[in-house]
Structure 1
Amino acid sequence: MESLPFFIFFSTLFIQSLHFLSFSADIITPDLPVKDGQTLISVSQSFELGFFSPGTSKYRYVGIWYKKSPETVVWVANRNNPLTDHFGVLTIDNRGNLVLLDQIKNIIWSSKSSSIIAGPVAQLLDSGNLVVRDNGSSRNTESYRWQSFDQPSDTLLPGMKLGWNLKTGQERYLYTWRSISDPSPGDFTYRLDIHGLPQLFIVVGSVKKVRSGPWNGIFFGGTPKVHNSVFEPILVRNEDEIYYTYRLLNNSVCSRLTLNQSGAVERLVMYGQNSGWTTIYSVPVDTCENYGQCGANGICRTRTSPICECLKGFKSIPEEELDIQNFYGSRKCETRLTLDCQSGEGFLKLPGVKLPDLLEFRLNESMNLKECEAECFKNCSCSAFATTNLSGGGDGSGCLMWFGNLIDIREQSGSTIGQDIHIRVPASELEMARSSKRKKMLKTALVASMSALLGIFVSGLVLCISWRKIKRKVGMDRRKEGMEAPLFDLDTIATATNNFAPDSIIGAGGFGSVYKGKLLTGQEIAVKKLSMNSGQGVEEFRNEVVLIAKLQHRNLVGLLGSCIHREERMLIYEYMPNKSLDYFIFGLIPLTHCLFCHISSLSICNVLHVLN
């Protein structure tokens, strides 16, 4: 019984410890650090923080990764100062600084918070952001004293900012890992240039390698075209900061933007819980993405060979005259314009391109397209102009004017999105363009006219054929209606005669053959199938049927009907097992003179009766 109080005390302490640990699964406090081998997991179990060794490295780093994809590390704390053993500890001090300590308590890395916090905690959020805040404060972004989103690695997550804090001067950008085993900063960076209109650059040191077009109110020009149900790009511009970010449109999908070791920016998505990452686009996509690939005043087209050519209104500079120190790419083009405005100058629209870099430019976001053209036209050194904002539809709004050389223009392919730019050209180029346009319009009109005539001809031909078929059918129907004897269909007669079997023939002559058959009703019939070589037409056959139908006599074979199928002509008679009058006329039994006279006079009377 003496041990009972101790048991109750330790049980209560154990339960309270479990409760505290479960509550603290996503936070670090001064009393609850994270040691190597332990992890923090965000509330929805989207992200995990802990110690790891990348690739083949034996060094230890503190990082954040996807819980369901542990190999996908999105942030590294001590990227420049790895631990050499497995005794590291990540904790937060009483001033609110996150610190990484080695085995002998040396500080390997620190968040270096600028202000003292009462009751500091570090928390791993479901967004993948590790934040430091006051434990008693509200959990909004204003309460964060430090956050990992302000110190990106090679990955931009939804909600992270790529750009500038204008108050503090802090720039947020991505950098490549040195290698898959070394997360220290590599050669490439991905950053937002806010000079004029924001543009995205992949940079090596201070050298531009790849550039997007300017932000046009909807997207960055020249970026890959995505049938996007995954994310929405967002650009924020205000007096405090300018940055690019994005938000997910489907919470069941994971998406990230990564700058890999080769200097390519990849957009990756994971659609299901157990599916892998899929790359939906990567930049650069081709040679024309290389910055200034075709030099000053040139345009890069992947569909042509060579891929570079001078813009309209510009001409190539001979290779021996090139100043190697002062041009981009493999060639340079110079303008055909003089420095003074000349009569007849104007602008040619170059559609679907990545707009040139903003080197010498003027920006006025309150003008429309017409005002922009007028402003550029009256300034002889204005090389080109374009609108800046396409979010309102139509031709867009705002005015961007370039002066001097035009650098890094490319024709956009079907997989990327381009804009229109208006290039200043001399009168001769305008006239050539107008002449070419007239020829195209004439060719288009000619093709349209020929197509219309062909359509009319085909329609008339179809109408004529249809009319003839209808007319023929009506004629056949009328002829059929004029026959007093019923019409049989071919299938019925073919069935009755066993498909006109040779053993069904009971007679033959120049007119054709006579078949014995039996209808489905059981009635026996004789089918006179006229020869196709008889030369008898439908009208003659009709008259014959009408005449025979009226020449009925008890001593003559009864006509049951007829059959007309295409070129086939058939008469269907009653079958007379005791032979008919023609047997006696042409058969072996001789007729007496009286009987013959009687039959002849009877037939003549019937014929006269019909004719009357």
Structure 2
Amino acid sequence: MLFLYLLQVSIALDTITSSQFIKDPDTLLSKDGNYSLGFFSPENSTNRYVGIWWKSRSTNVWVANRNKPLNDSNGIVKISEDGNLVVLNGQKQVIWSSNVSNIASNTTSQFLDFGNLVLMESTTGNTLWNSIQHPSDTLLPGTKLSMSKRTGEKIILRSWKSPSDPSVGSFSASFVESRNIIQVFIWNENQPYWRSGPYNGRVLTRIDTMTATYFKGFEGGDDGNGNIIIYYTIPDGLDFLIYNLNSQGNLDETLWDDNKKELQVTWTSRKSDCDVYGICGAFASCSSLSIPICSCLKGFEPRNIQEWNRNNWTGGCVRRTPLQCERVINKTTTTKKDGFFKLQAVKVPDFAEGLAVTPDICRSLCLENCSCTAYSNGAGIGCMSWTGNLIDIKHLQTGGLDLYFRVAHEDLDSRGNKTIIITISAIIGTLTISICAYIMWRRTSKNTAKLWHSIKSKRVTDIKAFRLFYKGGTSEVHTSGDTIDELLLFDFEKLATATNNFDLSNKLGQGGFGPVYKGKLQDGQEIAVKRLSRASGQGLEEFMNEVVVLCKLQHRNLVRLLGCCVDGDEKMLMYEYMPNKSLDALIFDPSKSKLLDWRTRYSIIEGIARGLLYLHRDSRLRIIHRDLKVSNILLDEALNPKISDFGMARIFGGREDHANTNRVVGTYGYMSPEYAMEGLFSEKSDVFSFGVLILEIIIGRRNSSFYDNELALNLLGFVWIHWREDNILLLLEPEIYDHNDHKNILRCIHIGLLCVQESAVDRPTMAAVISMLNGEVASLPPPNEPAFILRQNINPLPEEKESINKVSITEVSGR
């Protein structure tokens, strides 16, 4: 009896029969011991699903009941009376089935190697259904993406709706076979989102990392049963490599790291905006290394130049000069024939037609057909030709194919003339510059020579040298001081390498200055690179301002500037990397805000206050930040706050304590009333912004996008009303705030309301705020009504939002 019991347990490890089933939380283990089948709950979810995972439930590769979750732990997986594999809930209702028709009831389900759950006939062993051919969001080794030539039916990957919801999301992935060309597509609903490029029988030509030496490669073609298939295998030495379509629409290649016990992304389908299908429109190509990223093909020009200049490229380009063959059809005479221009190493356009001919014949066929707009030849693919618009061309750093597109003879000829003109202009320009440089060198003093030596050594300590090198600056940038702390100057190539050519996967965020990227220098140091966008309203003045201000400041609650770079139109600033990003990414995210308990929030408030006190009173300079907001507070690994973004800061000299400006900059929702309305700013302007920050950090809601339909107030007014009615604690999340802390919480809200009073005279200084926070002031004065709480409907500011992305700089003219 003991032997029979052990035998039954052994069978149950990987088998389900009519008499054996698994019940939550039981699992099956594949024979190789790597895969498990059982019940799991995604992160931040209590729903239960039946799934398959590799080594840990966090590496889920298949879900059965993805659209019908179990609400309790009473689920069962068994063989039903009709022979299908089913999932039952606690009421014995079928919520998922293998759904095979016309089968014998005598069936068995076995969990095989490579995570394949199969349903088979017990007597013959014939496979009736298997999970590997019914994937969810993951492509496993051996999974055959297929398409029936007869019915068009496909095996498709479908993304999860979110990381905590396995139900079918918006994105799907499948391959498409059209006119003898096989490609992999990602779809957003019914619209193409990403395209791989043609499959050459070994690799997908669009993917940079897929070269001729790429592991064992993809296999595919006609399987002899009227189906087109494509699949991959794992090479020797690799434990686990899969492709996963995530909820954001990215197809990730992931490899198991046995040291870290987690999957590492080794390739992703979307590295930059150029990977978005058709982003540049027709007859245009995309390069992630260019600014702007889209450019018309040779002989073409933007269809709508105004839209093109606004970086809206979807309208594409049109031919500048009519083709010779078109003019012949229109009965005009010309002796100049069309030609082809070669575009090297690109992802070739969509809608190609494959032909089994030699390259020479391929060219001739395209040249003789006036409707043929381009052709290409690829090993394993053969001849490809295009007869319509050329859509979705991307320049690749490695791999890709050469594309030959039809160009009018006049545009081909112009190349030689332009080359001559450019060469002559370059020679004349070089001579002129050399002569001028010689004259200037003769007139340069010894002091200037020392300044240039400072620049050439890649470190600068003199503000005159810095301004001379960058040929700009403004009197508002600095005071009479002529020195700055040592500043490291970076090469553009070094930063491009550190950020993987500003790969989209390294993008940390977007501000008014431009995008911010994570980078790693050759010595392993992690940095944050802020790259000035051409579309930004900021320029050399703000760039210089931030460099000069931060070089003169050193405080634990201010972000540290490591260096800068200027190369042509490129302007970049390098900072210490903050692993926890900006404060708004935590306190305004419902799933992350609970990580910040009251003590952490209080520590952040106190740190910001100390940083402001340093700016206003304790530093070598007296600085007004002018753009203090939650997205400009960065958090290090210990969640210590660091004030950042000093592009709008102003330095006060002598006995100045306030100033007036005709250029109001900052972010609505954080501006003091005297600054927004009259252009007056002082230390009390930053105090007002700090008060808004306190209330946002405590309440967890934005002032700049707060709406209350009943009262039509912003966050300041909403807090004021609850404070006045003595029910302010109702606004706080009980999971975050302990009842024992309510006195300190009320005190901080009181301080915040004192800081946002309408009159600048009534607001405390930052020195007084520090004393209040530390309990050195026993009795706080009662706050007056905050600014802007009832003026929204009477005289609203233009959209109390932070420009188009909630972190950009807003600029208006002061009255």
The two structures have a TM-score, normalised by structure 1, of 0.63
Q: CA RMSD in A?
A: 2.7
Name 1:449's counterpart in structure 2. Answer: none
SS class of match (1:209): strand
Among 102, 115, 119, which residue is 2:102 paired with? 115
| Residues 362/211 of structure 1: CA separation in 2 closer, same or farther (3 Å cut) | closer
| Residues 97/315 of structure 1: CA separation in 2 closer, same or farther (3 Å cut) | same
Name 2:119's counterpart in structure 1. Answer: 132
> Does structure 2 conserve the Cα–Cα contact (< 8 Å) formed by 1:252 and 1:272?
no
Greater RCO (CA < 8 Å, at least 6 residues apart)? 1
SS class of match (1:19): helix
Name 1:247's counterpart in structure 2. Answer: 233
| Residues 321/261 of structure 1: CA separation in 2 closer, same or farther (3 Å cut) | closer
Cα shift readout 1:112-139 (whole Å, capped 9, x = no counterpart) = 112313531111111111110012334x
Kindly report which structure 2 residues correspond to 1:393-412, keeping only aligned pairs within 5 A, or say none.
398-412=382-396
Kindly report which structure 2 residues correspond to 1:431-442, keeping only aligned pairs within 5 A, or say none.
431-433=413-415
Is 2:217 the counterpart of 1:232?
yes
How many Å apart are 1:438 and its aligned residue? 9.9
> Does structure 1 conserve the Cα–Cα contact (< 8 Å) formed by 2:117 and 2:132?
yes
| Aligned equivalents of 1:404, 1:29: Cα separation in 2 | 56
| Residues 71/223 of structure 1: CA separation in 2 closer, same or farther (3 Å cut) | same
Name 2:182's counterpart in structure 1. Answer: 198
SS class of match (1:216): coil
Is 2:358 the counterpart of 1:336?
no
| Aligned equivalents of 2:167, 2:315: Cα separation in 1 | 34
> Does structure 1 conserve the Cα–Cα contact (< 8 Å) formed by 2:160 and 2:247?
yes
Name 2:77's counterpart in structure 1. Answer: 90
> Does structure 1 conserve the Cα–Cα contact (< 8 Å) formed by 2:204 and 2:210?
no
Kindly report which structure 2 residues correspond to 1:189-338, keeping only aligned pairs within 5 A, or say none.
189-196=172-179, 197-226=181-210, 230-238=215-223, 240-272=226-258, 275-319=261-305, 329=314, 331-338=316-323
SS class of match (2:233): strand
Name 2:144's counterpart in structure 1. Answer: 161
Cα shift readout 1:343-396 (whole Å, capped 9, x = no counterpart) = 3211121110110011xx5431x2011001110111111100112x414xxxxx
How many Å apart are 1:29 and its aligned residue? 0.3
Name 1:69's counterpart in structure 2. Answer: 56
| Residues 26/321 of structure 1: CA separation in 2 closer, same or farther (3 Å cut) | closer
> Does structure 1 conserve the Cα–Cα contact (< 8 Å) formed by 2:40 and 2:57?
no
SS class of match (2:114): coil
Cα shift readout 1:308-354 (whole Å, capped 9, x = no counterpart) = 211112223344699x9xx9725433352332456321112111011
| Aligned equivalents of 2:37, 2:422: Cα separation in 1 | 63
1:419 maps to amino acid: L
> Does structure 2 conserve the Cα–Cα contact (< 8 Å) formed by 1:294 and 1:331?
yes
Name 1:373's counterpart in structure 2. Answer: 363
| Aligned equivalents of 1:169, 1:355: Cα separation in 2 | 25
SS class of match (2:9): helix
| Aligned equivalents of 2:58, 2:280: Cα separation in 1 | 40
Please identify which structure carries the higher strand content: 1
Structure 1: give runs of 5+ residues left out of the alignment.
1-12, 392-396, 442-612
SS class of match (1:224): coil
Name 1:345's counterpart in structure 2. Answer: 338
| Aligned equivalents of 2:65, 2:51: Cα separation in 1 | 8
Which range moves more in the overlay, 50-59 or 40-49? 50-59
SS class of match (2:7): helix
Name 1:363's counterpart in structure 2. Answer: 354
Cα shift readout 1:120-168 (whole Å, capped 9, x = no counterpart) = 1111111111110012334xxxx21011122211110000122313356
| Aligned equivalents of 2:207, 2:238: Cα separation in 1 | 25
| Aligned equivalents of 1:230, 1:54: Cα separation in 2 | 32
| Aligned equivalents of 2:284, 2:392: Cα separation in 1 | 8
Name 1:23's counterpart in structure 2. Answer: 11
> Does structure 2 conserve the Cα–Cα contact (< 8 Å) formed by 1:154 and 1:260?
yes
> Does structure 2 conserve the Cα–Cα contact (< 8 Å) formed by 1:188 and 1:263?
yes
Name 1:80's counterpart in structure 2. Answer: 67
Larger radius of gyration: 1
| Residues 147/176 of structure 1: CA separation in 2 closer, same or farther (3 Å cut) | same
> Does structure 2 conserve the Cα–Cα contact (< 8 Å) formed by 1:224 and 1:281?
no
| Aligned equivalents of 2:262, 2:91: Cα separation in 1 | 40
| Aligned equivalents of 1:423, 1:346: Cα separation in 2 | 8
Among 21, 26, 33, which residue is 1:45 paired with? 33
| Aligned equivalents of 1:125, 1:81: Cα separation in 2 | 25
Identity of aligned residues (%): 34
How many Å apart are 1:274 and its aligned residue? 6.1
| Residues 330/258 of structure 1: CA separation in 2 closer, same or farther (3 Å cut) | same
SS class of match (2:373): strand
1:375 maps to amino acid: L
How many Å apart are 1:235 and its aligned residue? 2.3
SS class of match (1:54): coil
Is 2:127 the counterpart of 1:144?
yes
| Aligned equivalents of 1:226, 1:27: Cα separation in 2 | 38
Name 2:400's counterpart in structure 1. Answer: 418
SS class of match (2:178): coil
SS class of match (1:194): strand
| Aligned equivalents of 1:131, 1:191: Cα separation in 2 | 22
Name 1:171's counterpart in structure 2. Answer: 154
| Residues 317/132 of structure 1: CA separation in 2 closer, same or farther (3 Å cut) | same
1:307 maps to amino acid: I
| Aligned equivalents of 1:298, 1:48: Cα separation in 2 | 48
| Aligned equivalents of 1:438, 1:43: Cα separation in 2 | 71
| Aligned equivalents of 1:20, 1:439: Cα separation in 2 | 86
Name 2:593's counterpart in structure 1. Answer: none
> Does structure 1 conserve the Cα–Cα contact (< 8 Å) formed by 2:321 and 2:410?
no
1:373 maps to amino acid: R
| Residues 42/440 of structure 1: CA separation in 2 closer, same or farther (3 Å cut) | farther
Name 1:56's counterpart in structure 2. Answer: 44
Among 359, 381, 390, which residue is 2:379 paired with? 390
> Does structure 1 conserve the Cα–Cα contact (< 8 Å) formed by 2:208 and 2:397?
no
